[in-house]
Structure formats: structure tokens, C-alpha cells
Amino acid sequence: MIDYRIDRGSGVPAYVQIVEQTERALRMGFLKVGDKLPTAKEVVAATAINPNTVLRAYRDLEQTGLVELRRGLGTFVTRSLARPGAEDDSPLRREVTGWVARARAEGLERADVLAMVTAALDAHDNEHDSHPRATGNAGRRTHDRA
């Protein structure tokens, strides 16, 4: 069961954080079609945010076609975002796991690690083709934050 972590004080709305974390779990295959999301009540118990805020996030996810809210039953995944190449045992996964371990061992913080990857993405996308970007973290569209 996905376990949301809300960073109050990050300036990012709580419902956006839930949407982002859910999408990330879908991309990684941690959540699969048919899986049940925690009930609003469970999220409230775990995060101390308001049930309405959770429902707002779930409604957003429903409108993008990723989940389905079934009254009386719960909220269920209806679409996967899993990518070939991102599986748990793929070469890319194994490589990034090692790289992250080395970076952490060198004393880099979580934010440093993410900054390096973002910079690498920016550089790559600027050199190759279509959609260049300079320093931005902003997605080309909504939900491009990871």
C-alpha cells in the first residue's frame, strides 16, 4: 500500500504532492491496475491532512484517467504508467541504484542528487533535439516533476 509523505512547508499544495507521488508509484510499477489506494481516512490517519484534501487529489487522478473512485468501495488504479526499462531488475535500475549509493556515500544530500539528475536532463534535452530547456525544473506540461 502506497504510503504518502506530505511535506508541509514545502510550499507545494498537499493535494499536488499526493498526485505526484501516486504518479511516480504508477511509473515505477509500485502501483498496478486494480490496486486500491488508501482510503481518505487512512491517509488522514497517516498524514494529518484533511479528508477533503485527499479526495481533491483522488478526483484529479480520476480526471486524468489513472484511478476510479467507487463510492462505498474505495479508489482503484485503472491505468498503468509503467515503462519498459524501469522495472525493478532492469539494467537502468541497477545502475541508478549504484550511482545513488555512491553519491550518498560522498556526502551528497537528497536534494543534491536530484539537482544533478535534473541538470543532466536539462543538458541532454538541450543538446538533443526538440524541447530544450535551460535551468528549469518545470515540466513541459503538468505533472512533469517526477
CB 79, CB 33: distance < 8 Å? yes
Q: For DNA, what does the binding mask look like between residues 36 and 75, x meaning CB under 7 A?
A: -x-xxx------xxx-xx-xx-xx--x------xxxxxxx
What, of a second copy, DNA, none, does residue 69 touch, CB below 5 to 8 Å by kind? DNA
Position 4 contacts DNA (CB under 7 A): no
- The residue assigned the cell 510550499 is 11
CB 110, CB 100: distance < 8 Å? no
Q: Is the dihedral of CA 120, 124, 127, 131 positive or negative?
A: negative
Q: For a second copy, what does the binding mask look like between residues 21 and 60, x meaning CB under 8 A?
A: x-xxx-xx-x-------------------x----------
38 is written with which cell numbers? 488508501
Q: How many CA atoms lie within 13 A of 138 on its CB side?
A: 7
Give the footprint of a second copy on residues 92-121 (CB under 8 A): 92-93, 95-97, 99-104, 106-121
Q: Choose between 41 and 124: whose C-beta lies nearer to a second copy.
A: 124
CB 77, CB 31: distance < 8 Å? yes
For DNA, the binding residues (CB under 7 A) are: 11, 13-16, 37, 39-41, 48-50, 52-53, 55-56, 58-59, 62, 69-75
